[in-house]
Amino acid sequence: MTENADKPTLGYIGLGNMGAPMATRLLDWPAGLVVCDARAEALEPFTAAGARAARTPADVAATASVISVTVLDDAQVRDVVNGPDGILSTARPGTVIAVHSTISDTTAVELARICEEHSVTLIDAPVSGGAPGATQGKLAVMIGGPIEAFERVREPFGCWAELVVHAGDIGAGTRMKLARNLLHFVSFTAATEASRLAEAAGLDIRTLGKVVRHTDAITGGAGAIMLRTTTEPVDESDPWYSILGHVRNLGEKDLSLALDLGDRLGVDLPLANLALTGLGPGLGVGVGAPPENTAFSGPSTKEQS
């Protein structure tokens, strides 16, 4: 395998549910692909397609100069990067190591410092979109590290990611992923609360889910309001004030109606209560006027008793 400054030889370590479909999209990379996994059966489809198999991460680094790592956790990432047969034992100066695993941002910063001593650059590059996004080549990848390293990996990562963003310095990619997943799993928790309300109201939860997925695909879901550059309060003269004020008014009205329904059905809705008081201030436009056309004016009777 040969490489040049424009087309480095790629390495991929970890061919699991995420790594395998991501690496598959690199098989046609002009300068070649070297793959490594502890399971021999995971390597077979890649070698059959023309990739070179490496026994250890060190063997990968002996050939490749841009190396992706998708393993389980911080401990495995440490071993792959700096273990006895790790990448750093053979990596040439200028090698870029991209960690796609979701690890601690402090681990990324620590390993980047160690790599720097070897004239190697480590970037944290976690991905979002799950196995379906990996299979479809539609992942988002959030990169923390020097802009020079970002520019070097932008093209190969574009083979398996639809969105490639530079989040900032080392650790910033992981911090962005954690913020994104906070929204993801809080939203899942809110979905369970909505499901309880729907069930108590005699509705089909699966049909509700179909409606949610359909409309989120149109509106962008929670990400639709993440367009400002700051979370500071919005001045009334700012064009955003009327837009976000409208969102607040709609939200507070609908949340009040949902809480009224929950109160009548005896369903506790703690996240909805938090949202009612936090939506306007969170948007930067404060709490709106009391919603009209609803008898609901506060926490559920269950909480008041």
Catalytic residue among 7, 138, 177, 210, which? 177
Structure tokens at 279: 């939506």
* CATH topology (fold) of 185-304: N-(1-d-carboxylethyl)-l-norvaline Dehydrogenase; domain 2 (1.10.1040)
The per-residue pLDDT for 2 is 52
Domain positions in the chain: 10-172, 185-304
CA torsion, points 52, 58, 62, 64, in degrees to nearest 10? Answer: 60
Quick check: helix, strand or coil at residue 264? helix
Q: Which residues partner with 141 through β-bridges?
A: 127, 164
pLDDT category of residue 5 using cuts at 50, 70 and 90: low
Name the pTM for this structure.
0.86
Res 9: pLDDT: 96
- Residue 301 pLDDT > 50, yes or no? no
Going from the C-alpha of 246 to that of each of 225, 243, 298, the distances in angstroms are: 12, 5, 21
Q: Which pLDDT score, from 0 to 100, does residue 152 have? A: 96
Q: What is the pLDDT of residue 4?
A: 56
> Is 177 one of the catalytic residues?
yes
Q: pLDDT tens-digit profile of 178-234?
A: 999 999 999 999 999 999 999 999 999 999 999 999 999 999 999 999 999 999 999
pLDDT digits (tens, 9 = 90+) for 73-124: 999 999 999 999 999 999 999 999 999 999 999 999 999 999 999 999 999 9
Measured between alpha carbons, how far is 143 from 197 in angstroms, rounded to an integer? 39
| CATH, range 10-172 | 3.40.50.720
